[in-house]
Structure 1
Amino acid sequence: MKLLLRRPQQSDIQALHQFFFHVIQDTYAKEGIAELVDDQQHEWELKKKYVAMDLESRGEKRFFWLAVDEESNKIIGTIECGEANEIIQQTIKEDLSYCPEIGTVFVHPDYQNRGIATLLVQKILTTLEKQKKSSFCLDSGYKQAQIIWQKKFGQPDFILEHFWGTNNHHMIWKRALPFQL
């Protein structure tokens, strides 16, 4: 498989919306929370809003990278960065204007465990360094993602215990740049 990392284009909107919907549904099913349909809808609407913000602001408000399978021209992964979300801001309680959040790290279920997310994370870290950012943050309430992030970024700086219900914690990482995976 030949992989292309590129910025989104207006012509990608429909495919991105479908991609987000599919990955969110799959993630919720794997997490055992597929019944949370309203939460899935909210997550989907937020991701659609973020990609629209990227395109409208030319990467100033949100900034995406896409992983595309060159043979099929299919979007198989995404990552973005932008202003830290409300949970992160309320937890860290400091000025995070210099510290963008990395998010929307999605890989199509058929392409997971092939290093695509790692390539996307490396690409966004390089992007942030070129933008002269001094740090970044990220968060996750998904148990499977938390395992991956702990392997890549170490122990979280903040654990919001039982945030999503009994034994369903929310984790937040804040790291200085440059950062080596």
Structure 2
Amino acid sequence: MKLLIRRPEQSDIQALHEFFDLVIRDTYKKEGIAELVDDQQDEWETKKQYVAMDLESQGKKRFFWLALNEETNDIIGTIECGAANEIIQQTIKEELFNCLEIGTVFVHPDYQNRGIGTMLLKKMLVTLENRRVPSFCLDSGYKQAQMIWQKKFGQPDFVLENYWGANSHHMIWKRTLPFQI
């Protein structure tokens, strides 16, 4: 399969909304929390807002990369960066103006475990380095994602124990650029 990584366009909006819905529902199911329909809806609305912010600001407020299957032109992955979310800001409690959050690292369920997320992450790290961003942060409350991030970034800087309920922790990483994965 040939992979194309590019910036989003206005014509991608509907496909991105559907992609976010698919990946969020799949993630909640795999995490055993599919019944949290309102949380899924909130996350979906946030991702839609992030794409709109990217397109409206031409990448200044939020900045996405998309991975597409070149043969089918289907969106199979996303990653974005922007201002750190509220959980990160309240936890780190320092000025994060020069520390962008990497998020929305989504890969289509049919394409997971093929290195697509890693490719997108490398692309984003280069993008941040080229913009002379000194550091980045990311967070996750999903157990499967936490295992991946721990392999790539080591132990988290912050663990909010039982944040999402019993034995459901929230993890936050902050790293200096350049960073090799």
TM-score range, shorter chain: over 0.9
Is 1:3 matched with 2:3? yes
Letter in 2 for 1:77: G
Letter in 1 for 2:28: Y
Q: Distance in 2 between matches of 1:117 and 1:151?
A: 13
Q: Distance in 1 between matches of 2:165 and 2:147?
A: 18
**2:121 matched residue in structure 1:** 121
**1:80-91 equivalent positions in 2, closer than 5 A:** 80-91=80-91
**1:57-68 equivalent positions in 2, closer than 5 A:** 57-68=57-68
| Structure 1 residue 102 displacement after superposition | 0.1
Q: Distance in 2 between matches of 1:170 and 1:164?
A: 7
**1:76 matched residue in structure 2:** 76
Q: Distance in 1 between matches of 2:129 and 2:110?
A: 31
- CA deviation map 1:16-45 (0-9, x unaligned): 000000000000000000000000000000
User: Which runs of no fewer than 5 residues in structure 1 stay unpaired?
Assistant: none
| Structure 1 residue 162 displacement after superposition | 0.1
SS of 1:96 mapped into structure 2: coil
Letter in 2 for 1:146: Q
| Structure 1 residue 81 displacement after superposition | 0.1
**1:20 matched residue in structure 2:** 20
Q: Distance in 1 between matches of 2:7 and 2:154?
A: 29
- CA deviation map 1:98-149 (0-9, x unaligned): 0000000000000000000000000000000000000000000000000000
**1:141 matched residue in structure 2:** 141
**2:32 matched residue in structure 1:** 32
The total of aligned residue pairs comes to 181
- CA deviation map 1:135-174 (0-9, x unaligned): 0000000000000000000000000000000000000000
Percent of aligned positions with the same letter in both sequences? Answer: 78
SS of 1:103 mapped into structure 2: strand
**1:44-63 equivalent positions in 2, closer than 5 A:** 44-63=44-63
**2:154 matched residue in structure 1:** 154
SS of 2:8 mapped into structure 1: coil
**2:112 matched residue in structure 1:** 112
| Structure 1 residue 85 displacement after superposition | 0.1
Is 1:169 matched with 2:173? no
Is 1:178 matched with 2:173? no
Runs of 4+ in 1 over 3 A off after TM superposition: none
| Structure 1 residue 47 displacement after superposition | 0.1
Q: Distance in 2 between matches of 1:109 and 1:120?
A: 16
- CA deviation map 1:57-82 (0-9, x unaligned): 00000000000000000000000000
SS of 1:100 mapped into structure 2: strand
User: Which runs of no fewer than 5 residues in structure 2 stay unpaired?
Assistant: none
Q: Distance in 2 between matches of 1:57 and 1:25?
A: 28
Please report the TM-score for the alignment, with normalisation by the length of structure 1: 1.00
